[in-house]
Amino acid sequence: MEYIKSRIRDVYDFPQKGVVFKDLTTVFKDPRALHIIGWDLSQIYRDKGVTKVVGIESRGFIGGSILAFELGAGFVPVRKPGKLPADTLQASYDKEYGKDTIEIHRDAITEDDIVVLHDDVLATGGTMAAAYELVKRMNPKKIYINFIIELGMLNGRANLPADAEVTSLIKY
Ligand code: AMP
């Protein structure tokens, strides 16, 4: 984990003043770090019967796809409005720097699915809480929540549903 931590780049005042942005592109471009991320994420869910990994646009697509591949599960994107071509469900939420809406295809998840929701960073938790609400409407058997990085001082976990099992690889 120290190796991955050493590859994370802190970008100050992005996308606006006062935000320290945890940039994972410097992790993903490093072959060894990418391999460790895939392995460590998949170990958390290896015996849980996961059938779908839901990744949140856009940085959640990278770790989410790797996790899905490692688990032999399918991958489902949660996207910004107007990007998904077929019939969608929508949810709106507040985030650290602004307000946003996300969508998922209405037929993406079934009641037989066991789902891992994945994003790169947990900040305020608003994005993930909205994604959880979207997936919950499709009534899968179980929903896990996962991040690569958790920014503990923002206490995002408090905004996530109490019944969800939340894991993160790295906490700050
Ligand atoms: P939130 O809804 O506040 O938990 O925001 C989470 C989303 O915003 C994730 O998709 C992150 O990629 C992004 N994000 C928010 N704050 C940061 C940060 N300080 N560093 C990196 N990504 C962030």
In the reported structure, the alpha carbon of residue 51 is separated from the centroid of ligand 1 by a whole-number distance in angstroms of 26
> What would the pLDDT profile of 119-158 be if each residue is shown by its tens digit?
999 999 999 999 999 999 999 999 999 999 999 999 999 9
Domain count, the chain: 1
Ligand 1 site-directed mutation target among 14, 80, 95, most atoms within 8 Å of CB: 95
Looking up tokens 């994005």 gives: 127
The mean pLDDT of the chain is 96
**Could you read off the pLDDT of 85-105 as tens digits, one per residue?**
999 999 998 765 678 899 999
d(CA 62, CA 41): 12
Q: What is the DSSP string of 138-161?
A: T--SEEEEEEEEE-GGGTGGGGS-
Domain assignment of residue 165, yes or no: yes
Has 59 been annotated as catalytic? Answer: yes
- Domain presence at residue 21: no
141: its two tokens: 């058997």
φ, ψ for residue 116, nearest 5 deg: -110, 125
Distance CA 10, CA 4 (A): 13
Is residue 82 situated within a structural domain? yes
| Residue 115 belongs to some domain of the structure | yes
Cβ(64) to ligand 1 under 6 A? no
Atom nearest to 120 CA in ligand 1: 12
pLDDT at 83: 98
Predicted confidence band of residue 163 (pLDDT cuts 50, 70, 90)? confident
d(CA 111, CA 167): 23
The answer as to whether 152 is a domain residue is yes
DSSP state of 75: E
- Determine, yes or no, domain membership for 2: no
Please report the pLDDT score of residue 111 as a whole number.
98
Q: Do residues 96 and 128 lie in contact, with contact meaning Cβ atoms separated by under 8 Å?
A: no
Q: Residue 25 CA to chain centroid, in angstroms?
A: 15
CATH of the domain at 63: 3.40.50.2020
Domain hosting 160: range is 48-171
Q: Is the minimum distance from the CB of 63 to ligand 1 under 6 angstroms?
A: no
Helix runs in the chain, H state only: 2-7, 25-28, 31-45, 60-71, 126-136
pTM for this one? 0.96
Over residues 22-46, the mean pLDDT reads 98
Whether the predicted pLDDT of 38 surpasses 80: yes
Q: What is the mean pLDDT of residues 99-123?
A: 97
pLDDT, position 93 = 87
Exactly one of 7, 57, 70, 96 is catalytic; name it: 96
At 112, give phi and psi (nearest 5°).
-90, -5
Q: Which atom of ligand 1 is nearest to the CA of 125?
A: 4
Beta bridge partners of 82: none
The Å distance, Cα 92 to ligand 1 centre, comes to 15
Domain membership of residue 145 (yes or no) is yes
Does residue 3 sit within a domain? no
Asked if 160 contacts 132 with a C-beta cutoff of 8 angstroms, the reply is yes
